Amino acid sequence: MRKKLVIAWLLVLLCGVIALFWRNEWVYALPTPVPAGYKPVATGTPVVLPAAIAMNGNKPVLLHFFNPDCPCSRFNIPHFASLVNKYGKQASFAIVLMTSKKYTQEEIQQRFHVNVPVLTDTSLATACGVYATPQAVILNGYRQLHFRGNYNKSRYCTDIQTNYAEIALNALLHNTIVPVAPEATKAYGCQLPNSCKK
């Protein structure tokens, strides 16, 4: 009887470990399901920006859709900060906070170690066709949608060949056309509106 109890307990423990792995790792390797009623936003669509960022001349704008509760968003912080440091003079950047929790602009800026506007207008996600975090949205100088998609194929943004957001930003800055890989626009990560998948 004792042996059966130990085996049963080990099976329960194994199932728990598998469930934790699925919740924390594997589920984020799958594309984020497209929500019912989702309306795609076409490239070239004008996007109205809040005054905090709208007055930055005709520079391109990169909007970083970020959810502090999303593991994928947290892994993406160093990569986004590196883009701000590298392209901050050529483009404007802003973080769009996708959560119902209250954070100050300073708290978010400290997480990223960058001084960019932090926007709390979650309607920007609908305007840009975003339904997952993290996502990059790049607008051209006329505030038209140029790119919406992933930062990288790798969860940790370490694959230089698939730095999709940076490739799109470079193409816009140099007025060149770079074909967008299908993986670049398929959302991965945490579902909106404001929480990770449970």
Strand pairing class (118-119; 92-97): parallel
How far is it, in rounded angstroms, from Cα 46 to Cα 127?
A: 9
User: Which one, of 55, 113, 54, 117, lies nearest residue 85 by Cα?
Assistant: 113
Cis, peptide link before residue 193, omega less than 30° from 0: yes
- Which residue ranges make up each domain of the chain? 1-30, 51-191
Nearest to 60 by CA among 164, 148, 139: 139
Instruction: Tell me what pLDDT residue 196 has.
Output: 35
* Residue-wise DSSP of the chain: -HHHHHHHHHHHHHHHHHHHHIIIIIHHHSBPPPPTT-----TT-B-PPPHHHHTSTT--EEEEEE-TT-HHHHHHHHHHHHHHHHHTTTSEEEEEE--SS---HHHHHHHHT----EE--THHHHHHT--EESEEEEE-TTSBEEEEE-S-SSTTS--GGG-HHHHHHHHHHTT---PPPHHHHS-BSEETTTS---
Global pTM value: 0.82
Pick the CATH number of 51-191 from 3.40.109.10, 1.10.540.10, 3.40.30.10, 3.90.1150.10: 3.40.30.10
Encode the chain (198 residues) as per-residue pLDDT tens digits: 788 887 888 788 777 766 665 555 555 567 788 888 899 999 999 999 988 776 667 899 999 999 998 888 888 899 999 999 999 999 999 999 999 899 999 999 999 999 999 999 999 999 999 999 999 999 999 999 999 999 987 655 666 778 999 999 999 999 998 788 888 888 888 888 543 333
**Dihedral angle of Cα 43, 48, 50, 56, to the nearest 10 degrees:** 70
Rounded to 5°, the CA angle 50-145-153 comes to: 110
